[in-house]
Amino acid sequence: MRFPLPMNLAAIGRSTVLLSLALPVVLAAQSAAPLRNAAGTITPADIQNRIGIIADDSMLGRDTPSPGLEKTAQYVADQFKRFGLKPGGENGTWFQRYSISGRRLDAAGSHVGFMIHGKHVHADLNRDARFAFGTVPAKEVMVPAVLVGGVFTPDDIRQLDVRGKAVLVVMDYSKPLPQNAFAVLQGLAAGGATGVVTLSNRDSATFGRMVGAAPAVRVGVDGLKDAVPPVVEVHQRAIGEILTETGIRLDEIRAAGTLVTRAIPDLQVGFGLKDEILNTASAPNTIGILEGSDPKLKNEYLVYSAHMDHVGVAGPNGTGGCSARGADSICNGADDDGSGTVGVIELAEAFTRPGARPRRSVIFMTVSGEEKGLYGSSYFASNPTVPLGQLVADLNIDMIGRNWPDTIVAIGKEHSDLGQTLNKVAGRHKNLNMVPIDDRWPEENFYFRSDHYNFARNGVPILFFFNGVHPDYHQVSDSPDKIDTDKMSRILQLLFYLGQDVANNPSRPKWNPESYEKIVIKRPAA
Ligand SMILES: [Zn+2]
């Protein structure tokens, strides 16, 4: 589980839509005894042993990238191989690798161009503009502008058609920024804007200081679809001539008490940004596949996912707030997310036992870079090794080894009929003494804070299994000895039966239509 982002998306309102009670009848494809035996391979002793390996001090906290992460990825692959899974990574391997680069903007070589009715103005990044955040596009493209100003919410922004446009956001820096400013910018990114220009009225001294500051080093993953577009603050005085030509009065827009939007198709904006690559590294996802038994349904996949990375070693290079305690500086990440990683391995073992192969195929995936920014799952969603449309559900597991012994929070139950399926499966397996409960912390936006989000926003229904944080969260004390392996074994057995239901059911899990509208990214028709 990663730390909350400063630019978290807005909370999604909890839906009150009633789901249909007409459940499809699941064919009894398998008999109960082999399934019970398969589930029985998920034992507290196995879990203890595996967490002891993954969260051992020798793994040095599994930072992304790091040798400990590589060792963990290889361990998972070795287990998958032993169970007889098929490699599901790239080029017939168990791994999908992505590259991570540290980049710095070349301000002297960068500009934002504005063109209208034959007038052309460059806002240079070492004088009139500053790069706030986002991704530098590979080459400059000129796109038409849309202006947004006045008073608006992230919900207003979601309604706008900004795809392929430059969005000019009229900011008023003479007042405190609205709380949701980052959520608004994120909404523009999710809407597919090509770039965002915030039109600034900062005083010259402040703006000059910000422009003169050394450009920050940004670390990011290469090759992502839906990367956050560039967000550049441009001082309004640099483009006064352009604004006059459009007839836009910024003072009127700032004074407006409501949302102001205007398409300005005559105004073309180009983001001519350059950045230098300072360093590159790479990191793995580990992927194994169990082929389904049904000749047709085997082309659809249930995914079990968890992140195998953690925050590394405490200190300047550590991330996520982990600090040394005495001589101990290794952030073991036994619960976060050694528990989920071991969970995926144990589920793979159970599914490969005789009589447990379901009709659909099952993908077992352990990703990396979650703590740094959901890197591995973003990369998989951008470069899937099987078509995303063939993924019927993602059951993501992050932190299931601590807190209450008899309940597990399932986040996202209200967004698809997977919630109902889970309740039904739990009802059939009361002997596990494990009750799935609803999201207890909607204000924390956990729906957006682990890898399932990258599946959900690409249209794959998800459930997220999570037992909440605790005082050892992101500390050196998140160690293997504190894991409640008995609890974990019961959660994983429940997840095994849930996966059997999902992977054998003749129909795919269905989104709640309202949730689909809010969560899934709309893409233009190809
Ligand atoms: Zn974490």
Write the pLDDT tens digit of every residue in 288-298.
Answer: 999 999 999 99
Q: Which residue has the higher pLDDT, 393 or 225?
A: 393
Instruction: Assess whether pLDDT exceeds 50 at residue 255.
Output: yes
- Bridge partners of residue 105, in order along the sequence: 275
Residue 244 makes CB contacts below 8 A (sequence gap 6+) with: none
What's the CA-to-centroid distance between 448 and ligand 1, angstroms? 13
Enter the tokens of residue 347.
Answer: 């589920």
Q: Measuring CA to CA, how many Å separate 79 from each of 6, 82, 122, 182, 288?
A: 37, 5, 57, 42, 10
Give tens-digit pLDDT for 46-64: 999 999 999 999 999 999 9
Enter the tokens of residue 53.
Answer: 């390996």
Instruction: Assess whether pLDDT exceeds 80 at residue 348.
Output: yes
What's the CA-to-centroid distance between 398 and ligand 1, angstroms? 8
User: 6-10, 280-284, 380-384, 460-464: which has the minimum mean pLDDT?
Assistant: 6-10
Parallel, antiparallel or unpaired: strands 435-437 and 391-397: unpaired
Whole-number pLDDT of residue 24: 44
Angle, CA of 193, 198 and 200, to the nearest 5°? 170
What's the whole-number average pLDDT of the chain? 90
Residue 274 makes CB contacts below 8 A (sequence gap 6+) with: 105, 106, 109, 110, 136
What's the CA-to-centroid distance between 378 and ligand 1, angstroms? 16
Q: Is 328 exposed, middle or buried (0-12, 13-18, 19+ CB in 10 A)?
A: middle
**365 phi, psi to nearest 5 deg:** -135, 130
What's the CA-to-centroid distance between 334 and ligand 1, angstroms? 10
What's the CA-to-centroid distance between 101 and ligand 1, angstroms? 21
Instruction: Assess whether pLDDT exceeds 70 at residue 16.
Output: no
Whole-number pLDDT of residue 192: 86
Q: Which residue has the higher pLDDT, 241 or 27?
A: 241
Would residue 153 be called left, alpha or beta, if left means φ above 0 and alpha means ψ between -120 and 50 degrees? Answer: beta
Instruction: Assess whether pLDDT exceeds 50 at residue 338.
Output: yes
Virtual CA dihedral for 152, 273, 142, 250, nearest 10 degrees?
A: 40
Crossing angle of helices 485-504 and 44-54, rounded to 10°:
100
Residue type, 478: D
pLDDT band at 215 (very low <50, low <70, confident <90, very high): confident
What's the CA-to-centroid distance between 105 and ligand 1, angstroms? 29
What's the CA-to-centroid distance between 446 and ligand 1, angstroms? 12
What's the CA-to-centroid distance between 311 and ligand 1, angstroms? 7
- Bridge partners of residue 362, in order along the sequence: 290, 302
What's the CA-to-centroid distance between 292 and ligand 1, angstroms? 32
What's the CA-to-centroid distance between 1 and ligand 1, angstroms? 3
User: 306-320, 384-398, 458-472, 482-496: which has the minimum mean pLDDT?
Assistant: 306-320
Whether 502 contacts 386, CB under 8 Å = no
Whether 434 contacts 410, CB under 8 Å = no
What's the CA-to-centroid distance between 322 and ligand 1, angstroms? 10
What's the CA-to-centroid distance between 213 and ligand 1, angstroms? 31
Query: Tokens 């659909």 appear where?
Result: 360
Q: Which residue has the higher pLDDT, 152 or 311?
A: 311
Whole-number pLDDT of residue 98: 97
Whole-number pLDDT of residue 518: 82
What's the CA-to-centroid distance between 369 and ligand 1, angstroms? 10
Enter the tokens of residue 521.
Answer: 């990214």
**93 phi, psi to nearest 5 deg:** -100, 175
Instruction: Give dist(CA 199, CA 238) in Å, integer.
Output: 10
Whole-number pLDDT of residue 523: 65
Whole-number pLDDT of residue 156: 83
User: 223-232, 367-376, 407-416, 447-456: which has the minimum mean pLDDT?
Assistant: 223-232
Rg (CA), the chain: 25
User: 196-200, 228-232, 363-367, 432-436: which has the minimum mean pLDDT?
Assistant: 228-232
Instruction: Assess whether pLDDT exceeds 60 at residue 26.
Output: no
Query: Tokens 């991570």 appear where?
Result: 100
Instruction: Assess whether pLDDT exceeds 60 at residue 18.
Output: no
Return the sign of the alpha-carbon dihedral for residues 514, 461, 424, 307: negative
Give tens-digit pLDDT for 407-451: 999 999 999 999 999 999 999 999 999 999 999 988 788 887 889
What's the CA-to-centroid distance between 465 and ligand 1, angstroms? 14
What's the CA-to-centroid distance between 2 and ligand 1, angstroms? 4
What's the CA-to-centroid distance between 3 and ligand 1, angstroms? 7
Whole-number pLDDT of residue 17: 33
**pTM listed for this prediction:** 0.85
Whole-number pLDDT of residue 343: 98
What's the CA-to-centroid distance between 331 and ligand 1, angstroms? 10
How many CB atoms neighbour CB 449 within 10 A?
A: 21
Instruction: Assess whether pLDDT exceeds 90 at residue 130.
Output: yes
Cis check for the bond before 65: say yes or no (omega within 30 of 0). Answer: yes
What's the CA-to-centroid distance between 80 and ligand 1, angstroms? 24
What's the CA-to-centroid distance between 418 and ligand 1, angstroms? 25
Would residue 152 be called left, alpha or beta, if left means φ above 0 and alpha means ψ between -120 and 50 degrees? Answer: beta
What's the CA-to-centroid distance between 23 and ligand 1, angstroms? 36
Whole-number pLDDT of residue 25: 46
Whole-number pLDDT of residue 200: 96
Enter the tokens of residue 298.
Answer: 């085997």
Whole-number pLDDT of residue 320: 67
Count CA atoms within 13 Å of residue 121 on its CB side: 19
Whole-number pLDDT of residue 9: 28
Instruction: Give dist(CA 122, CA 105) in Å, integer.
Output: 17
What's the CA-to-centroid distance between 99 and ligand 1, angstroms? 21
- Bridge partners of residue 260, in order along the sequence: 149
Instruction: Give dist(CA 464, CA 283) in Å, integer.
Output: 24
- Bridge partners of residue 463, in order along the sequence: 395
Whole-number pLDDT of residue 317: 53
What's the CA-to-centroid distance between 351 and ligand 1, angstroms? 27
Whole-number pLDDT of residue 14: 29
- Bridge partners of residue 7, in order along the sequence: none
What's the CA-to-centroid distance between 396 and ligand 1, angstroms? 14
**147 phi, psi to nearest 5 deg:** -105, 140
What's the CA-to-centroid distance between 324 and ligand 1, angstroms? 16
